[in-house]
A and B are shown apart, each in its own frame.
Chain A
């Protein structure tokens, strides 16, 4: 199905199942521990052996030949694979660093060997017996030092490295009120609960991977390319994912090393990356340095806006696209954005939790707060004043819909924003300094092709099959809702199979495109199945409706199951898009409101209230959507207050590589969270009239927290995370 015109009235608009706050269909499996995650798939294949991956002890250099004889001779060991005996390996399209290092080492904890043994403990013990001698080379580990040699990157996800409109330099110079500040965001880790894990088995020249992966088709292609085998010879299965956050958009060392270990030993091999390995072996969100300049009239109309960002990655990598939102978020005729990329020999930088906008908004939305203060304007008012209904770099291109101002008006009223005192450090509750902060939320809505197959059997059961993944987001549920709505059946009549490369290729889970695009694919397949049903029943009529498990035309009612009484019916299709996202800018919008208490003596921050107002088209399931948004808000709190990979700039690695030292929020850090979804549909998005919402929830939260801390303390911190050491000296004397 080609989506090339605004969606008109369609069966989804009935909203009998779609749009309802239904429980997750996979909830019982999750809460009873019976959802089988990759490492739990003991039933997938018998005789599983265990692999333990050894990582490089240096960040850059060379390995002299390794001595693996002691490891090979250790109890229970079935085999050891290193670059020396792995055979020729290619590299996938989606990873920058090789997944198996040696003799060259590209980053700390890069995999350099796998030991396969009968038990996990034997494999781990034997891995310690591998003797590795290194020749260290000098590396570049300090973003600030590397900035001077940063270049304009060619390879960018989602556009060009630079953009401009009008004449920024002139416009900024001429602006009566100018603001210019530089912000920093740190390296961050996905730190998902489930580490990367894979069971690999070869059957002849065919490889099966039971793994944990967000993008089945990308990853099937990449493992094939890395191993030099045809894509058709790889099957990948990932029905449940225990958190991905972008870290599982691709295959990582667990998958490749398990495949190599299995090939070498002739046994199925199970590999999970050990927790301390997760931080330096896999990918992370890179640190940024961002300079933001805003010029405005005395009244607060933006006339010039500039955003530059520097980040680093291994050679061949890409930048953090932190300026993207600044191209679209606020009006102003003179504009510039630029991204520069330095070479860093730290572990590979890549996508994490709303790449681009998450760190970009962390900087931009503090800058907007600072500029509002400089102008003497309320920060809500300042943002509404500079709203735009068109792409400000290309004013002939409108937004498909944009209710940005509405998000702020609704949020301000609901949150009691008028109780905020614009003068910082003026409100107090006992030992707590109180402050309120606000920020915009913004994330683009990306359209990705997505296919599905829908079957109807003689019992009237509808089965949806697509390689879409559920990364804890609720894909199973909203896909089931979509099929139920389209086929006129109740939710219990729908079965959903996901996450398998033998199924039609979906949009996958990433960039908040999964929900809206995969359900649109299911919609398309259901349209086909409806035609099949009508044909089978000889009721091909434009007024046919699918209601209560029946096909109805006029007075005729025929049970759906009857259509498939003799033969299962199948509808398969994919959603594709014409140039709808070229003609119209598709984005999602929101506002974040936060109230904090800051301990006047110690500077500890306790968030008191949070509110997000989201504009993201139709909300397919307000319950799962809310769960996503409050989870994202929690990640925003982490980014604001604690998340930072500490770089050892001498040895070139992230020092705090476990969950005790890489802190993410705990329950006690998160107060009551409120989420409001504006009641709207976007017919230009997909037939579902829905857009992505998961990552919208994270974009801007950290800045709202930062702005609230400033409002509480009067101390402005421009480098994240905003830990108490950065402002304690500015706190009032302790009585």
Chain B
């Protein structure tokens, strides 16, 4: 860990301004990922801006019947919120499938979205990693890649995004609200929030430098049975091999997104239109461009089977 300076801020404007004044700054909220990465010298910010005092910890109704979730709402509180449990069960389930009780008590909504990959090569500073050290190469390609991406990957990076919550937000068509330098606010659809690795895997989202997430907005609830199926090697406290977030109506139509397969939650509306025909049709379309490694080719089969299970459960 490199020495760093630290400040607490009291408003989003102050946070963004502080970022502008400090080179190589980072916002910190729960710190459940950033602190680990700093200890391992993977992240080495010279300045930390603690945003915990920004009062962005409320969950409120929006005028059109949706929910605005403050960026600092802790994962535990979000999963336990009555409206979330009732109307957005896919989100509650995804949250509870992630991390551990202790971590969820600390981890925030915005922080969850911004957590870094769990690719083991990213975590070992002796190994080349384009995400950690742009231009150094990718040790995961040709290495141990069982957990890693099967689709949307590039010659530079085959990492996955580890969040369960983000997969649920993707099927909920959530919108991320932010504030930038000068107080400029904007709304980013979750569809446009994450980036594929391409040749810049170190740039993971479309947030501008110093842009601060203030809230995540859920549209009004949609009909259908919510499910979050997370498949992993142990029953709890593990990242997904494959996960399926689903909202499926009685007629078999619906929305699905996959986790654990790509650099972002994986959803495509064309594939989704195949839902009434069953899992095979959806999976073939959704994963048609998959380029798995020998270690993770099973994820293709697993995704289709998990999807079939989700569909059958929704119908059942």
Q: Which residues of A contact B (CB under 8 A)?
A: 57-58, 75, 121, 124-125, 128, 276, 431, 599, 601-604, 606, 641-642, 646-648, 650-651, 655-658, 660-661, 663, 665-669, 721, 723-725, 728-729, 731, 734-735
Contact = CB atoms under 8 A, between A and B. Distances in A.
B144 A656 contact: yes
15 contacts: A57-B126, A642-B234, A651-B139, A655-B121, A655-B143, A655-B144, A657-B120, A657-B124, A666-B237, A668-B234, A669-B236, A724-B233, A724-B302, A725-B298, A728-B298
Interface in B267-316: 279, 298, 301-302, 305-306, 308-309, 312
Contacts of B236: 666-669
B3 interface: yes
Interface string B208-249: 000000000000000000000101111111110100000000
A641 B234 contact: yes
Contacts of A604: 231-232, 235
A276 B233 contact: no
B193 interface: no
B144 A666 contact: no
B2 interface: yes
A728 B143 contact: no
Given A431-B309, A734-B308, A666 B234 contact: yes
Contact of A661 (B120, B142, B302, B306): B120
B234 A658 contact: no
B144 A728 contact: no
Nearest to A637: B234
Given A642-B234, A661-B120, A667-B236, A725 B3 contact: no
A117 B304 CA distance: 54
Q: Shortest 6 CB-CB distances between A and B: which pairs?
A: A601-B309, A725-B298, A668-B235, A734-B308, A57-B126, A646-B144
B143 A663 contact: no
B80 interface: no
B302 A725 contact: yes
A57 B248 CA distance: 49
Given A602-B231, A641-B233, A728-B298, A124 B123 contact: no
Contacts of B302: 602-603, 724-725, 728
A655 B124 contact: yes
B206 interface: no
B123 A276 contact: yes
A276 B121 CA distance: 12
Contacts of A647: 144
B41 interface: yes
B61 interface: no
Nearest to B120: A655
B143 A601 contact: no
B238 A663 contact: yes
Nearest to B298: A725
A729 B301 contact: yes
B38 to A, nearest CB: 11
B40 interface: yes
A663 B234 contact: yes
Given A658-B123, A660-B118, A669-B234, A650 B142 contact: yes
B253 to A, nearest CB: 19
Instruction: Give the interface size bracket for B toward A.
Output: 35 or more
A729 B314 CA distance: 24
Nearest to B242: A602
A125 B171 CA distance: 43
B191 interface: no
B307 to A, nearest CB: 9
Given A646-B144, A724-B302, A734-B279, A276 B234 contact: no
B1 interface: yes
Given A646-B120, A661-B118, A668-B235, 15 more contacts: A125-B1, A125-B2, A276-B123, A599-B309, A601-B309, A602-B309, A646-B146, A648-B139, A648-B143, A651-B143, A667-B236, A669-B236, A728-B301, A734-B312, A735-B308
A656 to B, nearest CB: 5
A604 B139 CA distance: 29
B127 interface: yes
Contacts of B301: 728-729
Nearest to A662: B120
B238 to A, nearest CB: 6
B11 to A, nearest CB: 31
A128 B233 contact: no
Nearest to B308: A734
A602 B312 CA distance: 13
Nearest to A664: B234
A602 B305 contact: yes
B305 A666 contact: no
A665 B237 CA distance: 10
A663 B237 CA distance: 9
Interface in B106-163: 118, 120-121, 123-124, 126-127, 139, 142-144, 146-147
Nearest to A646: B144
Nearest to B299: A725
Contact of B312 (A666, A721, A735): A735
A638 to B, nearest CB: 9
Contact of B235 (A125, A128, A669, A721): A669
Contacts of B232: 604
A599 B229 CA distance: 12
A642 B279 CA distance: 28
A75 B232 CA distance: 44
A128 to B, nearest CB: 6
Contacts of B139: 648, 651
B120 to A, nearest CB: 5
Given A602-B231, A669-B235, A724-B231, A651 B123 contact: no
Contacts of B3: 75, 125
Contacts of B2: 125, 128
A602 B41 CA distance: 37
Nearest to B142: A650
Nearest to A642: B233
A657 B120 CA distance: 8
Interface string B81-99: 0000000000000000000
Determine which residue in A599, A602, A648, A666 has the highest number of CB atoms from chain B within 10 A of its CB, and name it: A602
Given A431-B309, A601-B306, A734-B308, A656 B234 contact: no
Nearest to B310: A601
Contacts of B312: 601, 734-735
A648 B140 CA distance: 9
Contacts of A728: 298, 301-302, 305
Given A646-B144, A667-B236, A128 B41 contact: yes
Contacts of A661: 118, 120, 123, 147
Contacts of A276: 40, 123-124
A716 B127 CA distance: 36
B144 A601 contact: no
Contacts of B127: 651
Contacts of A57: 126
A121 to B, nearest CB: 6
B310 to A, nearest CB: 9
A244 B143 CA distance: 30
